[in-house]
A and B are shown apart, each in its own frame.
Chain A
């Protein structure tokens, strides 16, 4: 028996013309397979919505309240842990310095000043070395290579921006 058009019509659940409907009805009388698909399609079309027991929203309210309480509890625990960890870190890193500052302020001040001066000197050295390197490199690298590097950087930035926009799009569904 040639199921082909009839089975396809049923499985695609297509809208049929009157002529097609007549042909299908004739086929269904002799084909149990297609008749079964037609019956299940018919049952699917006669949908019957399931409804929750009355008071669904009233049952939801306490659940939401419980969830909010749980969220608050978690936030509180998180905050306490964060504060304790911050205090611990501060004590470990800055504790000796603070103790020293309290015991001998003059020594502490001179050490802090020398540390800052050291940092500034380091920055100045880096600036000078960088300047020398830049001047020598600009002489060594041809203009076309600079152009290619700028174009590649631009392309990279474009790809990065595009990727970030795609990744940061708000996901739907949870």
Chain B
């Protein structure tokens, strides 16, 4: 990709080609945020497309002193938060994999398929628990862990104070931990009836 700032300037002057290159470069970042926020591949695709459209529409407002990725993710996060507020209830498709495509069975020929299956299961669990968080907390967690944003960057992206970000991350980690523990307890209860009384 050419120099990002030059591409943004060209796009601001109406170059669709330059903007398309920016879409190509940032599609994964934006899509990932939307997917983690909305929990569905189709909604994530739609939200990511809408994010780029809004970015193109409001490109004249972009401040070159700020990273373009942060600006884009800010648009995506706010769009997803609004959408979740409208939706109120989130639905998590159970037949979709973590990467947004139809779930595939673990490849038994691959090395350590059990470990891979376990990792996949953990990712699915985490994605499910993410949907239970408050939408702003969820955005903060996704930006922190999937996009490696610092607390200051998250604050800028979500229009929050740094202390608010810290407290939201703290609360979100606690809630995720609680979900994790509850699921563990449920699994333990579910296993017990099948276990041999001898154990």
A residues sitting closer than 8 Å to B (CB atoms) are: 10-13, 32-33, 35-41, 43-53, 56-57, 59-61, 63-64, 67, 170-174
Given A36-B184, A170-B63, are A60 and B177 also a contact pair (CB < 8 Å)? no
A52:B180 contact, CB within 8 angstroms: no
B28:A51 contact, CB within 8 angstroms: yes
Could you tell me the distance in whole angstroms from the C-beta of A59 to the nearest C-beta in chain B? 7
Given A51-B99, A51-B100, are A12 and B170 also a contact pair (CB < 8 Å)? yes
Determine the residue in chain A with the shortest Cβ distance to B183: A36
A10:B181 contact, CB within 8 angstroms: no
Secondary structure call for the A interface:
helix
B78:A50 contact, CB within 8 angstroms: no
Given A50-B44, A51-B28, A61-B20, are A43 and B125 also a contact pair (CB < 8 Å)? yes
Query: Told that A52-B27, A56-B31, A174-B54 touch, could you supply 5 new A-B pairs with CB distance under 8 A?
Result: A40-B177, A47-B145, A50-B41, A56-B23, A67-B56
B57:A36 contact, CB within 8 angstroms: no
Specify which of B28, B129, B157, B180 is in contact with A49 (CB 8 Å cutoff). B28
Could you tell me the distance in whole angstroms from the C-beta of A44 to the nearest C-beta in chain B? 4
Could you tell me the distance in whole angstroms from the C-beta of B76 to the nearest C-beta in chain A? 10
Specify which of B27, B55, B63, B66 is in contact with A56 (CB 8 Å cutoff). B27
B16:A64 contact, CB within 8 angstroms: yes
Interface size on B, residues (CB 8 A): 59
Specify which of B44, B55, B79, B173 is in contact with A40 (CB 8 Å cutoff). B173
User: In the assembly, what is the distance between CA of A37 and CA of B125, in Å?
Assistant: 14
A171:B61 contact, CB within 8 angstroms: yes
Determine the residue in chain A with the shortest Cβ distance to B126: A43
What are 19 A-B contacts defined by CB distance under 8 Å? A10-B173, A11-B170, A12-B170, A35-B181, A36-B180, A43-B180, A44-B173, A49-B146, A50-B32, A51-B31, A56-B31, A59-B45, A60-B53, A170-B61, A170-B63, A171-B61, A172-B66, A172-B71, A173-B159
Given A44-B141, A52-B45, are A37 and B173 also a contact pair (CB < 8 Å)? yes
Given A40-B126, A60-B52, are A11 and B174 also a contact pair (CB < 8 Å)? yes
Determine the residue in chain A with the shortest Cβ distance to B100: A50
User: In the assembly, what is the distance between CA of A11 and CA of B176, in Å?
Assistant: 10
- A43: which B residues are within 8 A, CB to CB? 122-123, 125-126, 180
Determine the residue in chain A with the shortest Cβ distance to B21: A57
- A57: which B residues are within 8 A, CB to CB? 20, 23-24, 27
- A59: which B residues are within 8 A, CB to CB? 45, 49
Given A60-B49, A170-B61, A172-B63, are A44 and B176 also a contact pair (CB < 8 Å)? yes
Specify which of B61, B141, B184 is in contact with A174 (CB 8 Å cutoff). B61
